[in-house]
């Protein structure tokens, strides 16, 4: 459960930057910006899928060690943890970047485009950083370089989390933030807060989008096997038709959100993506398989939807003489920003991007496993726009597209933001 931030002074955090520093962070950031682009291009050109980020981990490890940061490797398979100990006592701030790429063949014409291929689900596929995780890693590497140069002035520690498998672990494997926590990451390092960022095609380059409270939806999968009894299509009364039962289940579940869940709390979505049953036009099959996703922004509603989906499917099937077996595979929880930490973060975001380039964004029905971290300690997660000037974000290729494009000029904003958030938080805690 999230802990209270009663000790966090918003008035102090509103100063927006650490000014009493013997080492100028702005100068350090300016020196680091070209390197961030260089690192990003290397990682982009050498993408790896979840739980297989071996070379990426080596690249990150070498960088952190060169900065004199304590490093732990092999966390949740390929994750890399860096601990920067400040020169003064204080809390530990966790900063997270995800490392994995997607099974997508790149179609962007840049000199550093990925040509990588690998095996995925038994097929040879292209591999691309189509969600921008390469930029997340590079920006956090940049923050590590800046903050390590300021270590003597830091009143606390910085925990750099380079996380594998945000897009999901391979079938039969565990991974990602959930596995890191299961292995004891937070128990060992005891961070007080966690910050994370994600590039987005939905915002203009350099614009930062945030919101307090629920930001991204939970993501859960459901599977429904509808069991009937095979018969000839000309004699449906001779068996039990799972196709009509499945159709009724699909329509019946549309009332879960509209009629059975309190939608005044938060929105929710129940969608079917797979219907599979039958092999011939005149044979009613034995069974039909349904598969879909649930998205919502309230953890209590989440459990209510699970319960009502199961009852609805089972009772509708039973009414026609069929049987329905419902399996729910819980995925990522709701990504929710701690309100106090969010309020305190706004000055740092404005210092990084400019007052007119920090905006409140709508809820996003996509999901993010940073949510596991933010369920343990106060967390703040935000979006960084990467759609270049002259391109309408509404028409830009979205994250996960083979044409997803990053305007690299935005990376300096993201590096500055994650660095400034760290400096401001540690400074605020020192003065309290």
Catalytic residue among 332, 382, 405, 425, which? 332
Q: Tell which residue, 345, 332, 403, 350, has the closest CA to residue 102.
A: 403
Q: Is 332 annotated in the active site? A: yes
Q: Could you give the C-alpha distances from 250 to 99, 296, 371, in angstroms and in order?
A: 37, 18, 29
CB 341 within 8 A of CB 378: yes
Q: Which residues contact 123 (CB under 8 A, 6 or more apart)?
A: none
Q: Is 408 annotated in the active site? A: yes
CB 209 within 8 A of CB 410: no
Q: SS3 helix, strand, coil % of the chain, rounded to 5?
A: 35, 30, 35
CA dihedral (49, 52, 57, 58) positive or negative: negative
CB 87 within 8 A of CB 158: no
Catalytic residue among 53, 304, 368, 408, which? 408
Q: Side-chain half-sphere of 234: how many Cα atoms within 13 Å?
A: 0
Taking the C-alpha atoms of residue 170 and residue 300, their distance in angstroms, rounded to an integer, is: 29
CB 192 within 8 A of CB 2: no
Q: Which residues contact 26 (CB under 8 A, 6 or more apart)?
A: none
Q: For helices 411-430 and 25-45, what crossing angle results, to 10°?
A: 130
Q: To which residue do tokens 């890693």 refer?
A: 137
Q: Which residues are designated catalytic?
A: 332, 408
């Amino acid at each position: 459960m999230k802990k209270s931030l009663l000790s966090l002074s918003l008035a102090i955090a509103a100063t927006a930057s650490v000014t009493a520093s013997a080492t100028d962070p702005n100068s350090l950031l300016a020196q680091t910006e070209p390197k961030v682009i260089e690192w990003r291009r290397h990682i982009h050109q050498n993408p790896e899928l979840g739980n297989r980020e071996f070379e990426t981990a080596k690249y990150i490890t070498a960088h952190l060690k060169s900065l004199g940061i304590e490093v732990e490797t092999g966390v949740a398979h390929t994750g890399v943890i860096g601990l920067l100990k400040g020169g003064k006592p204080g809390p530990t701030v966790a900063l997270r970047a995800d490392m994995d790429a997607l099974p997508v063949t790149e179609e962007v014409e840049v000199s550093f485009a990925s040509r990588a291929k690998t095996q995925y689900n038994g097929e040879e596929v292209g591999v691309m950083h189509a969600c921008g995780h390469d930029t997340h890693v590079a920006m956090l590497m940049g923050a590590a370089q800046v903050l390590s140069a300021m270590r003597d002035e830091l009143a606390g520690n910085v925990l750099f989390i380079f996380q594998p498998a945000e897009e999901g672990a391979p079938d039969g494997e565990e991974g990602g933030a959930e596995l890191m926590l299961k292995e004891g990451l937070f128990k060992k390092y005891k961070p007080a807060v966690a910050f994370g960022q994600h590039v987005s095609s939905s915002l203009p380059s350099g614009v930062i989008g945030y919101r307090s409270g629920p930001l991204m939806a939970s993501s859960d999968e459901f599977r429904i096997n509808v069991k009937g009894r095979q018969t000839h299509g000309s004699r449906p009364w001779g068996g039990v038709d799972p196709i009509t039962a499945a159709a009724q289940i699909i329509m019946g579940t549309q009332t879960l959100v509209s009629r059975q869940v309190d939608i005044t709390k938060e929105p929710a979505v129940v969608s079917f993506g797979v219907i599979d049953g039958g092999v011939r036009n005149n044979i009613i099959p034995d069974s039909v398989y349904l598969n879909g996703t649930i998205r919502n922004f309230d953890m209590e509603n989440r459990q209510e939807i699970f319960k009502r989906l199961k009852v609805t499917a089972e009772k509708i099937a039973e009414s026609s003489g069929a049987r329905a077996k419902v399996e729910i595979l819980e995925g990522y929880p709701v990504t929710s920003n701690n309100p106090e930490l969010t309020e305190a973060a706004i000055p740092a975001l404005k210092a990084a991007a400019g007052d007119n380039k920090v905006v409140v964004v709508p809820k996003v029905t996509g999901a993010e496993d940073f949510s596991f971290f933010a369920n343990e300690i106060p967390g703040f997660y935000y979006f960084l726009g990467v759609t270049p000037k002259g391109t309408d974000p509404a028409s830009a290729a979205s994250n996960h597209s083979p044409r997803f494009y990053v305007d690299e000029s935005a990376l300096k904003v993201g590096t500055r933001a994650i660095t400034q958030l760290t400096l401001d938080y540690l400074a605020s805690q020192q003065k309290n």
